[in-house]
Amino acid sequence: MSTELDTTNTADLATIHHTTAPAKVATTADTIDLMAWANELSAAHEIASALARTSVVPATFRGKPDECAAVILAGKALGLDPLTSLQNIFEVKGRPAMYAR
């Protein structure tokens, strides 16, 4: 058994384990819009998680925070607040529809 310590040249390690910094994503109007939409989805899901546990939302949305969040965002596009969206928008074959009230 040898008592010698193995030494490694750090310059050799840099060559062997070549690492590069991840490329930065160019910030464009589309990227900013997508990030804003993701933030809105996160906020809608937070609201939806609370509302989905209540009897205030229609039975079809109770216990379904993901569906509630989608309806909240659909309603937002129409200028509706979250609760009004959940009470007036329903799904027909995967598409949001509104009651004719």
Two tokens at 32?
């900013």
> Token match 């993901």: residue?
66
Angle at 50 between CA 84 and CA 58, to 5 degrees: 45
- The residues spanned by each domain of the chain are 24-98
Would the pTM of this model clear 0.85, i.e. be above it? Answer: no
pLDDT tens, position by position, 34-74: 899 999 999 999 999 999 999 999 999 999 999 999 999 99
pLDDT tens, position by position, 74-83: 999 999 999 9
